[in-house]
Structure 1
Amino acid sequence: MIEEIGANLEPIINDIAGTVSVYAERVAGGRYVTIDIKRLSAARYGLNVSDVQQVISTAVGGMNVGETVEGLERYPINVRYPQDYRNSVVKLQNLPLVTPAGARIALADVADIRYEDGPPMIKTENARPNGWVFVDIAERDLGSYVNEAQQVVAEKLVLPSGYSLAWSGQYEYMERAKQRLGVVIPITLAIIMLLLYLSFRRVGEVLVIMGTLPLAMVGGLWLMHYLGYNFSIAVGVGFIALAGVAVEIGVIMLVYINQAWHGRKLSAEQDRTPLTADMLTEAIREGAGLRVRPVMMTVLTVIIGLIPIMYGSGTGSEVMQRIAAPMIGGMASALLLTLLVLPAIYKLWKSKDIKR
């Protein structure tokens, strides 16, 4: 039945978009000699099941009757019928048995002996026999493929009572990793926000940087779309690394803009002059201008260092490319964010202080 279910799954999964090949494991294929004891016939001759089984185990499988000692080595002494008496079904049928009454009968008189097909290997999972269906996919992400496959299989395949399906392999590993990322990503963002707060001691700057952080991810998403990469655990790790670097660049820019603006505010207080929008603009130009070179150096260092990974072809290169691609594309958008968007947001934010 397990083999039949696997054979029914092959055409169902093969029609799903993204499927390259489907192969259901053939669990049958072994040839076995089956001996079924005929209880009524054995009872007529005064034999019970254990008597017949003992003859079969002794004649075919053999029985250890002793042990030979050769120095430190021990070898069992096994006794059974010669091979000529047990190398075919016909000869097994003619194996002699002696009844309690002393009559000699053949094994075929009390047992049904025949060849049967069976599994060459019995595999179990969670103490239940199982069979595997191997599926290869291409040009599609694993998560959406399995979700669609689960829906299609649930609609088209009727499982007999007592049988179940489980999706394993890379999908199982991906689900475990997603659960871990569901914990790691919020903790990472919380640590970033805590470090930002310890650096600025104000919530405003923290919200500005965290609010603009999604814009830094845009470049990574664009490059992934251009390269045809699907979301994976490696891509998620790349975005986590990108978030840290993008926040670092934003902090560098925001610290110097803050310093320039606080200098203007102190000068205005000493001169007893009101703050103006032109003073804010000059402070932003001064602070942002001082950070153009460090920001460009940081971004170019990351991009130039990761570009060779994108041209690699050795073992593990595919995983490394999925990590590097979000960082390369994200650093490009983070550069625009830091030099253009962040100063603009800062000006809109501090313009409220000038109106007050």
Structure 2
Amino acid sequence: QEGRMFAPLAFTKTYAMAASAALAITLVPVLMGYFIRGKVLAEDRNPVNRFLTAGYLCVLQLALRYPARTLLLALLVTVVGFWPLGRIGSEFIPELDEGDLMYMPTTYPGLSIGKARELLQQTDRLITTVPEVKSVFGKVGRAETATDPAPLTMIETFVQLHPREQWRAGMTTAKLKQELDGLVKLPGVTNAWVMPIKTRIDMLATGIKTPVGIKVAGPDLQEIERIGKRLEQVLREVTGTASVYSERVAGGRYIKVDIERARAARYGLNVADIQQVVATAVGGMNVTQTIEGQERYPVNLRYPQEYRDSPEQLALLPIVTPGGQHIALADVARVTVEDGPPAIKSENARLNGWTLVDIEGVDVGSYVSAAQTLVADRVELPPGYSLTWSGQYEYMLRAKEKLSYVLPLTLGIIVVLLYLNFRSVAEVAIILGTLPLAMVGSVWLMYLLGFNYSVAVGVGFIALAGVAVEIGVIMLVYLDQAWHRLLEETAGRPTTAQLNAAVLSGAGRRIRPVMMTSATIILGLLPIMFGSGTGTEVMQRIAAPLVGGMASAVLLTLLVLPTVYLLWRRWGLRQGSGELPRG
């Protein structure tokens, strides 16, 4: 799912970068020859650039005067910057606000069709009383197809909302859910307020309609139901639980017609004859069809409801024997009510029972971690039974597993490309040292905005790694140029003062492109950060690491990278040679 969601973004960015690189070395030089003519203001005469350079050089000169203290301060900032790491939650994808809601309550098994219809009408009327609700359409039961296994116990109500500008002042989707949940409180009904599209995708993939689900697997449905009830009791104590419901996998009620073959044979009846009478009386039989224009409708004939609305009435169903006798169903069969599973679910060839958990005010990762600890202490599983945590948590675990090798692979590719360019392990290490400094701003901005770790945040961090390395490369290239120029001017024997001046000169010449690159990225992402509408929740999680990371990367890279470069070259001078061995 995460691949389908972010693959278009990855392809778009890759193609755009490839096209811009090709145009930068082909079309742009030609256009510069045509349009950049006449009096062009020199870089050192631009007032904005002069102001930036003057201020930057003052700060950099102070940092180079005390390089050890500068690095110690940078290390302290990095350590303190990672303080929020353990205080940020985790989730698969931030909850998308699709503009509408879906109400999916769950009731206990054994619900009659009439009661289900009444319950649906009551909930629809209650939801309609909220001013933000435009229309309500509820569905109970299922169509006559195997692709819709929804039982009577599961109601699906689509709640269409008015546009945001027509909502009450200060009303949000979260507040609206709380108000609806407090309004629709009925005995025996467990509420769940979800997003329509996302929930459909989750149910197709895992079968779980809530953010968190637990699948209990084992050989016996009675024991699975007992474990589910125990989970229901325990999970209510976990902070953040909005509602919890364990399916009653053995709580169904069935009317059993047990045909007594010997008694039926006395009347000349066989099993098929009696079954046909019961099927026709209860389920009906299509006797013909009516044609209305181009439409055809079947005509179904069955007994009136009062003849089949109880086991006692079913026992009185009339049967005509081949000999012309009129007898009742009770003469040849026993009609009883028995318990049994309302539905049988299985995964990996094992019987399953599901526990559905809706959460509020807490992220999925933190909730499941706390719930797993409590369940491990309070719920004892017999041999042969197991628990599987599912729902969005299942997606999140799979995404974490992928990111655990995608992120190192990305860094590995960056290292290889840097080494092919610089042919120096030391310079590659200097550039990679800026990545933790870039993450400081990302982590703090996510913490202040209340964002959780997710796949979208992981994509943002991957993009940040490339951009932060790009800024480091820009700085290091000019520092190298200043260093080689210094070696030529001093015949390979520069002094410490000359080295400081060369570093100041090289870093000062790169303040403008570094600031332009960073400002362009930050300003380009600000509309996404403060935008609204469907989909902005995901885009904000991608943009936040980039915005926060660029802010800290610029401030720290402009000071820390030249300082590290200065110490590295000083070490080379102390070794008695101006030129350090490569690698």
Moved more, 100-109 or 339-348: 100-109
Inter-partner Cα distance in structure 2 for 1:50 and 1:80:
18
Inter-partner Cα distance in structure 2 for 1:62 and 1:142:
48
Is the CA contact (8 Å cut-off) linking 1:16 and 1:149 kept in structure 2?
Answer: yes
3-state SS of paired residue (2:433) = helix
TM-score by length of structure 2 reads 0.52
Q: CA deviation at 1:241?
A: 1.1
Q: CA deviation at 1:275?
A: 2.4
Inter-partner Cα distance in structure 2 for 1:81 and 1:300:
78
The one of 409, 433, 450 aligned to 1:228 = 450
- For 1:291, give the aligned amino acid: R
> Which structure has the highest helix share of the two?
1
Inter-partner Cα distance in structure 1 for 2:289 and 2:452:
65
Percent identity among equivalent residues?
58
Q: CA deviation at 1:290?
A: 0.1
Structure-2 residue corresponding to 1:207: 429
1:1-356 equivalence runs, <5 A? 1=222, 5-17=227-239, 19-24=240-245, 27=248, 32-38=254-260, 52-57=274-279, 60-61=282-283, 86=308, 88-96=310-318, 105-115=327-337, 122=343, 124-126=345-347, 128-139=351-362, 141-159=363-381, 164-269=386-491, 274-356=493-575
Inter-partner Cα distance in structure 1 for 2:443 and 2:574:
38
Alpha carbons of structure 1 residues 117 and 245: separation in structure 2 relative to 1, 3 Å: same
Q: CA deviation at 1:284?
A: 0.6
3-state SS of paired residue (2:532) = coil
Q: CA deviation at 1:58?
A: 5.3
Q: CA deviation at 1:220?
A: 1.0
Alpha carbons of structure 1 residues 204 and 129: separation in structure 2 relative to 1, 3 Å: closer
Q: CA deviation at 1:151?
A: 2.3
Once the two structures are superposed, residues 145-165 of structure 1 have per-residue CA deviations (whole angstroms, 9 ceiling, x without a partner) of 212212211322244666543
3-state SS of paired residue (1:12) = helix
- For 1:24, give the aligned amino acid: Y
Alpha carbons of structure 1 residues 355 and 32: separation in structure 2 relative to 1, 3 Å: same
Inter-partner Cα distance in structure 1 for 2:467 and 2:287:
76
Once the two structures are superposed, residues 48-101 of structure 1 have per-residue CA deviations (whole angstroms, 9 ceiling, x without a partner) of 7566445534554467899999xx999999887777754553342123457799
Is the CA contact (8 Å cut-off) linking 2:241 and 2:357 kept in structure 1?
Answer: no
Inter-partner Cα distance in structure 2 for 1:78 and 1:125:
34
Q: CA deviation at 1:114?
A: 3.8
Higher relative contact order (CA 8 A, sep 6+): 2
Alpha carbons of structure 1 residues 254 and 45: separation in structure 2 relative to 1, 3 Å: same
Alpha carbons of structure 1 residues 171 and 104: separation in structure 2 relative to 1, 3 Å: same
What residue ranges of structure 1 are gaps of 5+ in the alignment?
A: none
Inter-partner Cα distance in structure 1 for 2:451 and 2:574:
48
- For 1:343, give the aligned amino acid: P
Inter-partner Cα distance in structure 2 for 1:40 and 1:159:
46
Inter-partner Cα distance in structure 1 for 2:302 and 2:453:
63
- For 1:135, give the aligned amino acid: D
Rg larger in structure: 1
Q: CA deviation at 1:124?
A: 2.9
Inter-partner Cα distance in structure 2 for 1:82 and 1:330:
72
3-state SS of paired residue (1:229) = coil
Is the CA contact (8 Å cut-off) linking 2:435 and 2:468 kept in structure 1?
Answer: yes
Structure-1 residue corresponding to 2:195: none
Is the CA contact (8 Å cut-off) linking 2:235 and 2:241 kept in structure 1?
Answer: no
Is the CA contact (8 Å cut-off) linking 2:434 and 2:553 kept in structure 1?
Answer: no
> What is the root-mean-square deviation in Å for CA atoms of aligned residues?
3.6
TM-score by length of structure 1 reads 0.82
Inter-partner Cα distance in structure 1 for 2:458 and 2:333:
64
Alpha carbons of structure 1 residues 274 and 62: separation in structure 2 relative to 1, 3 Å: closer
Q: CA deviation at 1:181?
A: 1.3
Moved more, 102-111 or 218-227: 102-111
Is the CA contact (8 Å cut-off) linking 2:232 and 2:355 kept in structure 1?
Answer: no
Is the CA contact (8 Å cut-off) linking 1:6 and 1:133 kept in structure 2?
Answer: no
Is the CA contact (8 Å cut-off) linking 1:10 and 1:22 kept in structure 2?
Answer: no
Moved more, 160-169 or 183-192: 160-169
Q: CA deviation at 1:25?
A: 5.5
What residue ranges of structure 2 are gaps of 5+ in the alignment?
A: 1-221, 576-583
Is the CA contact (8 Å cut-off) linking 1:38 and 1:112 kept in structure 2?
Answer: yes
Is the CA contact (8 Å cut-off) linking 1:13 and 1:149 kept in structure 2?
Answer: yes
